[in-house]
Structures are given as structure tokens and as C-alpha cells.
Amino acid sequence: MSVLHFPTRSFGCTSRKDIGAGGGALQHTTAKIAPDAFEPAVTFMSALTISSKNYSSWSLRGWLLCKMAGLAFEEERVPVDDPDAKAELLLLSPSFLVPRLVHEGVTVWDTLAIASYLNEVFPEAQLLPADRAARAHCLSISGEMHSGFANMRSALPMNMKAHFPGFKVWAGAQADIERILAIWRGCFAAHGGPYLMGANITLADAMYAPVCSRFATYDVALDAACAAYRDRMMAHPFMQEWIAGAKAEPEELEELDVEF
């Protein structure tokens, strides 16, 4: 099997961890330097493996978490219609799923695992709320999104390029939508907005961001508060960057069998 060379692109995003600041004049020293002092240090590139920006909602979630954490990373994109690329992904990610993050030699897959890892490495980003009760709420609704709403996912697949005004939603998917809107309203009532957990964008917003795009694509009727949240998320600079990338992709799939 041939090795694929993924096109990569690095972002102008730097780590929020302080590197340290120098400032004094350089001092000459006669200290003896060890023979191996000039050997190159081992460095680790941060990379995120994703799939289509137009179709892959899980790629979006992982990518948003990395951006929200302030992680500088490169994208490794697996084309959705390339069997060789999918075979390569099987080697890269033990679960054969995207997203997959490599950071400082550590490999993490599954969106919630990536969120937990990034929250540990970049606690100042507050991907999870500091308050215990709010954190429990955030994890609960994120877990519900992670494992639920199968009817909505299959009936309204993510498609950033499309718009279907007046789209008819079948009953099973509508029940999922009503539950999602109830979650959002509960968050606004408990935490005051403008994001699901309050003033800061968190894991919960990353998990529901693809839902916001679906609601926009399929013209889902929303109350004023939920519509305002959808619009706020869609206008967020990170979302706008992702959407621009999605619109630039050449692939068009008439039908998606699975959400990925």
C-alpha cells in the first residue's frame, strides 16, 4: 500500500501557554558546553486528521476544540471518496474515525477524549467550566450529543454548501430537534448565555456547532433565543474559517450513508 502525503496547512494560531519572555542583554560565558549540546532537540508537530469540511461534523467538532484551546496545529485531510486515503486513516487512527489529534507525541481520537486532553493541557482555555455543577451539565449535554440524536443526524446530514428552504422534517427527526432546543433553552436559563455554558465558549458549543449548521442548511424553525444562538455560532470567526474551507472543497456527494 502506498503511503499518502496529505496536504497540510498550518494556522496562525499560537498556543496559549506562555513561552517565557527574555529581555536582558546577552552575557558572554566561558562555561564548558557538553559535546552533545548542539544536537537537535526532538520536536513534536501538532496535527489534526480530519475529513471533509463540508460533510464531516465530527471533524468540525475536533477542529473547533483545537482552535478554542489555542493549539497551533496542521491539518491532515482524508478525502471522503478515496479508498487509499481511508486505508491510510486506518493506520493513523486505531478507531478508523476522525478527528484524530497528535500533540507532543500523544495520539488522541474520539471527540470527547480530545476535549478532555485539551482541557488538561490548556486549562486556561476553559473548554470545561471551572464550576463543578456547570461542568457536570456541560459534560452531560455533550455526551447526549455524542451518543444520541441519530434520527436528526441521518435526516439532516451536515452540508455547509447547501440550503433547502422549507425542508420537511419527518417526525423522528423532529423529536430529536425538540430535545436539542430544550437543551439549549435549559442552558440559557441556567447560565445566562450568550453561549450554552454562559459567557465562555466551551466543549458544549463545539458539540452543538454542527447542529447549528444543520438548522441553517435545512431551514429549521426556531424560537428567537435559539435562532440567535444559531446565528451567533455561525458567525463565530472559527466557524466562518471552517465554512470558507468547506465551500472551497471540490467534492460533492449526493448521498451520505453515515455521519462521519
Q: How far apart are alpha carbons 258 and 94 in whole angstroms? A: 19
Encode burial over 192-226: b for 16+ CB neighbours within 10 A, e otherwise. ebebbbbebbbbbbbbbbbbbbbbbbbebebeeeb
Question: Could you tell me whether strands 47-50 and 106-109 are parallel, antiparallel, or unpaired per DSSP bridges?
Answer: unpaired
- Which residue ranges make up each domain of the chain? 44-124, 128-247
Segment 17-52, tens digit of pLDDT: 332 333 333 333 333 334 343 333 444 589 999 999
- CATH class, range 128-247: mainly alpha
Confidence of residue 218 (pLDDT cuts 50, 70, 90): very high
Tell me what percent of the residues of the chain surpass a pLDDT of 90: 68
pLDDT digits (tens, 9 = 90+) for 135-162: 999 999 999 999 999 999 999 999 999 9
pLDDT tops 60 at residue 13: no
Alpha-carbon distance of 146 to 165, in angstroms, equals 27
| Rounded CA separation 124/17 (Å) | 8
Quick one: pLDDT at residue 29?
A: 33
Q: Which CATH code for domain 44-124?
A: 3.40.30.10
Average pLDDT of the residues in 191-206 = 98
Residue showing cell 455547509: 160
